[in-house]
Structure 1
Amino acid sequence: MREIVTGIRTPEEARDFAKIVIAAFLMDRPALYMKHFQFDLPTGVQWDPDYVAAVDELLKQAVQKAADGLGLGNKE
């Protein structure tokens, strides 16, 4: 996917290349793309630092309603 997005390969070229790499891997031949990423992975925070938009009490009620619907409600 990265090579398509960055213009290294067209989708058709990438598909053909993937066939070759997968076949090589399945036949125990060198297949570098199957061993590790071919690019550096980003470092640092990788999750969405956004805030929770749901109101806590409303969310608790929704969870409780779903639990009750599944028969998982409070059993006292």
Structure 2
Amino acid sequence: MGAQQMATQYGQPNEGTATKLLWFGRGPWKRIQITSDEVVHKFPTPHADFLTQYIDYEVPVDKLGELGRYDGSCLIDRTMGEAAARCDSEAANILTLNLMHEIVIGTRSVDEARAFYSETLSAYCLGESAPYCEQFQFQLPRGGPGDPDQPVPPGPKAEQVTQKVDEFLSASGRA
């Protein structure tokens, strides 16, 4: 059902394998992935996660722990400057990312976000209005460098490796 719904909404995938389908730059999403390798998830109720949707979003390092406590299917790639939600529907993914943003900017606590998530997704499933499931409640960033982190000053072993690489490159004429 998920693959057919995504194809109807976003067109044919850009890439596909026996276990994954990928769309790039469709709708509000940087990337969409559907996988046959489902992940069992029990929040807010038991279900299987198979749909991962990515946006550009740089999460401050001091918020990573809070987001881990919020929802294990809220995925952060600090180096790439991406956030993603992995669930069983686009509505749940939009809700996850809206609440992730509110945790990051400090307008909701983790406990408040979890309670709001459960109530809002339930309302949505009952056919009630649920704006947090229907569209992003914040302006989506586009692009950005991510956070490539900082190198560690080389210790004695790293200096030895660098020296051996330099020697190898010199000996092979590639230096």
Q: TM-score range by the shorter chain?
A: 0.5 to 0.7
**Structure possessing the higher radius of gyration over alpha carbons:** 1
* TM-score, scaled to structure 2: 0.25
Describe the SS at the equivalent of 1:24. Answer: helix
Shift, 1:42, TM fit: 2.0
Shift, 1:12, TM fit: 0.2
Q: Following superposition, which runs of at least 4 residues in structure 1 exceed 2 angstroms of deviation?
A: none
1:38-49 alignment runs, 5 A limit: 38-43=137-142, 46=143, 48=145
Cα RMSD of the aligned pairs, angstroms, is 2.0
1:30 and 2:129 are equivalent in the alignment: yes
Shift, 1:40, TM fit: 0.8
Structure 1 counterpart of 2:110, one-letter code: P
Structure 1 counterpart of 2:115, one-letter code: D
* TM-score, scaled to structure 1: 0.56
1:1-76 alignment runs, 5 A limit: 1-43=100-142, 46=143, 48=145
Shift, 1:47, TM fit: 6.2
Q: How many pairs were matched up?
A: 48
Describe the SS at the equivalent of 2:112. Answer: helix
Q: Which gives a bigger RCO, structure 1 or 2 (Cα 8 Å, sep 6+)?
A: 2
The structure richer in helix per residue is 1
The structure richer in strand per residue is 2
Alignment identity in percent? 38
Distance in 2 (CA, whole Å) between partners of 1:40 and 1:47 is 14
Distance in 1 (CA, whole Å) between partners of 2:121 and 2:141 is 26
Distance in 2 (CA, whole Å) between partners of 1:14 and 1:47 is 27
Structure 2 counterpart of 1:34, one-letter code: C
Q: Which runs of 5+ in 1 are unaligned?
A: 51-76
Structure 1 counterpart of 2:128, one-letter code: R
Distance in 2 (CA, whole Å) between partners of 1:28 and 1:47 is 37
Structure 1 counterpart of 2:120, one-letter code: V
